[in-house]
Amino acid sequence: MTTLLMTPGPTRVPESVLAAGAMPMVHHRSDEFSGLLVSTLDRLRPLFGATGDVLPVHATGRGALEAAITNLFSPGDEVVACCNGRFGEMWAEIATRFGLVVHRACSDWSRSIDPRDVEATLDAHPMARAVMLPHSDTSTGVLNDVAGVAAAARRSGALLLVDAVSSLGGVPFRFDDWGVDVAVTASQKCLMSSPGLSFVALSHRAWEAQAVARLPRSYFDFAAIRKALARARPETPGTTPVHIVAQVHAALTCIGEEGVANVFARHQQMALMTREAVSALGLSLQCPALGQLSPTLTAIRAPEHIGPAGIRDQMKARGILVARGLGRFESTCFRIGHMGDIRPADVRRTLDALAEILRSGTR
Ligand SMILES: Cc1ncc(COP(=O)(O)O)c(C=O)c1O
C-alpha cells in the first residue's frame, strides 16, 4: 500500500509529474532543455505575481534562503527577523552565522506577526537594511501578513525578504503588488515535485543590494545565475538538476489545467475541512490565537491520553503519514499537510482515521 503523505512537504508527486521525472536524460546545455527551463520560469512568474527575475537555485529551500542572505548583505549589516515559528527562527540563525546583526521583531510562536511590531523594531534599529518574514511558517500553520509587513518595511526603506517555501503555489502571492524584494520557494511542497530545487524572485531593489553586497558567495551567486539565463541559449551555471526542472514544469501544467484560482480554493477548502474536524472532534489547534491560518497545513494539539506519537503511529498503521510537531510543540502536537496534489478526499480519509483513533482512545 502506498503511504498517503499528509505531511507539509515533501508532498505527493502526481503521476504526470513522476513521469516527467523519468524522462530519458537530456543534456543541460541542449536547446531542448533550455526551452523547458525558460518555460518553467515563465510559468512560475505568475505564481509569484512577479514580472521580473525568477532564478532557479540548485538546492532545497534552505540553500536558497542562505543564498538570499549571502547575495544581499555584507558582514555586520543589520536586519529585522520575524521569528514566530521554527522557519523564521531558522532564517534568523542563518543570517547570524553569516555575520549579520539580527533584531527579532517577534519570537512568540503562538502569535501572528503584527506589522506594527515590525515597524517598532525598525524604528528602534534605523540602520536595519531588511526585514525577513516567513509567509506560511510550517511549524505553526500561521499565515503572516506579507502586505502589511511590506508596507512597514517600505516606510523605513528596508528590503523585504519572504520565505514562501510552504505557501507559493497553494496561496496567492503578489510579489510586485505587495512590494516584496526577495521571495524564495522550493520544489517539494505546493509545487508537487521532488526535493532539490528552489526558485527565487528578485526586485530591482534587491539587485541594487546584490551589486554592493560583500558576503562571499560562489555556487549560489545570483548574478552568475542571471547571466547564464541571459545567454542566447538560457542555462544555469553548473549541471542543472534537469529532472526536477522537468517535474516542476509538469506540475505547473497540472496547476494550469486545474486553474490557479481553483487550486487556491481547493487549499482553502481542505484547510477549512481540517479546522472544522478539529473542533468537531473536541481537539484544539496548536496555536489557537493565530490571526490568520495557512491554507497549506494545520498544526493540532494531540489529546493527552493518546499523545502525538500515538496519533502518528496509529495513522501510519492506517497508511497515512502526518508530521510531528516542531520545537517546543514536539511532545504535544502533530501537523497535517494539505497542499500540492492533496485532494479533499485525502483530507476526508485522514480526518476519518483521526476520528477512529480518538474513538478507540488508545495510545
Ligand atoms: C517555511 C519553510 N522554510 C524553509 C524550509 C526549509 O526548506 P528545505 O527543507 O527545502 O531546505 C521549510 C521546510 O519545511 C519550510 O517549511
Q: Tens of pLDDT along 277-315?
A: 999 999 999 999 999 999 999 999 999 999 999 999 999
pLDDT at 121 over 90: yes
The answer to whether the CB of 167 is under 6 A from ligand 1 is no
| CA 117 to ligand 1 centroid distance, Å | 24
The vertex-44 CA angle with 222 and 231, nearest 5°, equals 45
Whether 1 has a pLDDT exceeding 80, the answer reads: no
Question: Is the minimum distance from the CB of 134 to ligand 1 under 6 angstroms?
Answer: yes
From 140, 161, 166, mutation site for ligand 1 pocket: most ligand atoms within 8 A of C-beta: 166
Beta bridge partners of residue 198, listed in sequence order: 57, 186
Return the pLDDT at 363. 73
Q: Residue 103 C-alpha to ligand 1 middle, in angstroms?
A: 21
In short, whether 296's Cβ falls inside 6 Å of ligand 1 is: no
How many angstroms is it from 61 CA to the middle of ligand 1?
Answer: 5
Long-range CB contacts (within 8 A, 24+) of 303-311: 303/358, 305/361, 305/363, 306/357, 306/358, 306/361, 306/362, 306/363, 307/331, 307/332, 307/363, 308/332, 308/333, 308/334, 310/357, 310/362, 310/363, 311/354, 311/357
Distances (CA, A) of 216 to 97, 136, 193, 313, 339: 13, 29, 30, 45, 36
Q: What's the 30 CA to ligand 1 centre distance in angstroms?
A: 31
> What is the pLDDT averaged over residues 158-164?
99
Question: Which atom of ligand 1 lies at the shortest distance from residue 167's CA?
Answer: 1
H helix count then E strand count, the chain: 13, 14
Query: What is the mean predicted confidence (pLDDT) over 187-193?
Result: 98
Q: d(Cα 333, Cα 10) in Å, to the nearest integer? A: 19
Residue 207: pLDDT band with limits 50, 70, 90: very high
Q: How far is the CA of 190 from the centre of ligand 1 (A)?
A: 12
What single DSSP character describes residue 328? Answer: G
Cβ of residue 61 lying under 6 Å from some atom of ligand 1: yes
Distance 264 CA to ligand 1 centre (A): 20
> Ligand 1 pocket, 163 CB below 6 A?
yes
Q: Residue 63 CA: which ligand 1 atom is closest?
A: 11
For the CA of 188, the closest atom of ligand 1 is 10
Residue 135 CA, ligand 1 centroid: distance in Å:
12
Question: According to the model, what pLDDT value does residue 362 have?
Answer: 76
Euclidean distance between CA atoms 314 and 107, whole angstroms: 33
Mean pLDDT, rounded, of the chain: 97
List the one residue out of 143, 168, 205, 141 whose CA is nearest residue 64: 168
C-alpha cell at 272: 477549512
Tell me how long the chain is.
Answer: 363
Residue 220 CA to residue 232 CA, distance in Å, equals: 22
**Can you tell me the distance from the alpha carbon of 184 to that of 201, in angstroms, rounded to the nearest whole number?**
7
Q: Is the CB of 165 under 6 A from ligand 1?
A: yes
Give the number of other CB atoms < 10 A from CB of residue 146.
25
User: Quick check: CB of 138 below 6 Å from ligand 1?
Assistant: yes
pLDDT band at 29 (very low <50, low <70, confident <90, very high): very high
Atom 7 (ligand 1) nearest CA: 61
| pLDDT (average), residues 331-342 | 98
Q: How many Å lie between the centroid of ligand 1 and the Cα of residue 348?
A: 26
| Confidence (pLDDT) at 111 | 96
3-state helix, strand, coil in the chain (%, to 5): 45, 15, 40
Q: Are 326 and 86 in contact (CB under 8 A)?
A: yes
Local confidence band at 361 (pLDDT 50, 70, 90 cut-offs): confident
pLDDT tens-digit map of 132-154? 999 999 999 999 999 999 999 99
Please give the pLDDT value at position 309.
Answer: 97
Cα 206 from chain centroid (whole Å): 20
Contact 87 CB / ligand 1 (< 6 Å): yes
Query: 46-83, pLDDT tens digit by residue?
Result: 999 999 999 999 999 999 999 999 999 999 999 999 99
Ligand 1 atom index nearest CA of 62: 11
What separation in Å is there between the alpha carbon of 161 and the centre of ligand 1?
15
